[in-house]
Amino acid sequence: MADFHSSFDMPSTSSSENAEAAELQRMIAVEQQKAQFQAQVHNFTDICWDKCMDKPSSKLDSRTETCLVSCVERFIDTTLTITNRFTQLVQKGAH
């Protein structure tokens, strides 16, 4: 009698399936980066709004606008600094 499981074994993956899997992983990574970016923007908005907005009105006054711009720039600078530092640590650890 033939081995029951051998007739149902999955064939080995082909190079086209590997390429499709790699492309899917790349697309997932891109979507995760987009989601992280959107979360960061949401975080900036929440924190800077609370810090800079005294009372909402139909227009931003120059003080509020300057505060918002400075607040977001500080977050961006901090994020870049931290990212660059982690990159340096990872590169040093890889050697």
Domain ranges of the chain: 14-94
Q: What is the pTM of this model?
A: 0.55
CATH class of the domain comprising 14-94: mainly alpha
pLDDT at 50: 92
pLDDT at 11: 55
Is the C-alpha dihedral spanning 13, 19, 21, 22 positive or negative? Answer: positive
pLDDT in tens, 79-93: 889 989 988 988 888
pLDDT in tens, 12-53: 567 888 889 999 999 999 899 899 889 988 888 899 999 999
